[in-house]
Amino acid sequence: MLTYTDLKEKPREFLAATSLTLEEFDLILPAFGRRYRELITPGLTRKGQPRKRKEGGGVKEKLGTDEDKLLFILVYQKTYMLQVMQGLQFDLSQPQANYWIDCLLPILRASLAELKMTPERDPQAVANNPLVNESAPDLLMDGTERRRQRPKNAKKQEEHYSGKKKAHTDKNILLANLHSGKVVYLSPTEMGRKHDKKMADENGIKYPTGATLGKDTGFQGYEPTGVLTFQPKKSQKAKN
């Protein structure tokens, strides 16, 4: 069973499981815990029903601390695994995992928004976003794909099939600030068949003046006006 107490002693595994360092986790935790407690009304259960026991009575929660709740939802966000598998990681049944995902995901989103840590979703607002201009507007662009359930509809199967991943996927374009390492823009979700460059063209991202943009071969030919683009080359050692 994954717990914060055990995982915090393993920084590399903690980063792999959550995409956050311990310091970044601790930055989010106060806002996350406060927003979770705002949902609790004295004398009522989390479902809004009158309590039959005193608070703290009955079976103890598996996610008993703010740390474990935040760890649970961060692992889900990072891995996006089946709820059955998510439950197995935290010693929960599938219905319990479903309940906690529905409960905690909005809290995580609200906490990140409060801390101004959410990426921009409006491509026309990228140029003025503080995350983009943190240190300097030197950006990296990449396409991300994640597996999805195979659609039943034959046409949708074709649209979501990614030849690169040999699987049915959803994909997004993201921009990251080269200096801070933060994701500063996340595009709308598209079907796996669509090419990265076509997605970037259709997004029509507005870049700040003097921005630089690193991109891979998936964006060959993508040259937004007023932006200096470059394509990092893999070392011979990496190729081998």
* Cα 107 to Cα 6: distance, rounded to the nearest angstrom: 24
* pLDDT tier for residue 134 given thresholds of 50, 70 and 90: confident
* pLDDT tier for residue 146 given thresholds of 50, 70 and 90: confident
Encode pLDDT of 166-215 as tens digits.
999 999 999 999 998 889 999 999 999 999 999 999 999 999 999 999 99
pLDDT of amino acid 233: 74
* pLDDT tier for residue 59 given thresholds of 50, 70 and 90: low
Q: Which of 36-50, 101-115, 200-214 has the lowest mean pLDDT?
A: 36-50
**What three-state secondary structure class fits 47?**
coil
Q: Which residues contact 205 (CB under 8 A, 6 or more apart)?
A: 123, 126, 175, 185, 224
Alpha-helical (H) ranges within 90-210 are: 94-114, 154-160, 196-203
Q: What is the mean pLDDT of residues 125-139?
A: 90
pLDDT exceeds cutoff 70 at 71:
yes
pLDDT of amino acid 38: 87
* Cα 190 to Cα 162: distance, rounded to the nearest angstrom: 11
Q: Which of 40-49, 62-71, 97-106, 146-155 has the lowest mean pLDDT?
A: 40-49
pLDDT of amino acid 83: 93
149 CA to centre of own chain: 19
**Residue 40 backbone zone (phi > 0: left; psi -120 to 50: alpha; other: beta):** beta
This prediction has a pTM of 0.73
Q: Where are the domains of the chain?
A: 4-114, 123-233
pLDDT of amino acid 34: 95
Share the mean pLDDT of the chain. 89
Q: What is the mean pLDDT of residues 38-50?
A: 69
Select the more confidently predicted residue: 60 or 23. 23
pLDDT of amino acid 235: 65
**What three-state secondary structure class fits 21?**
coil
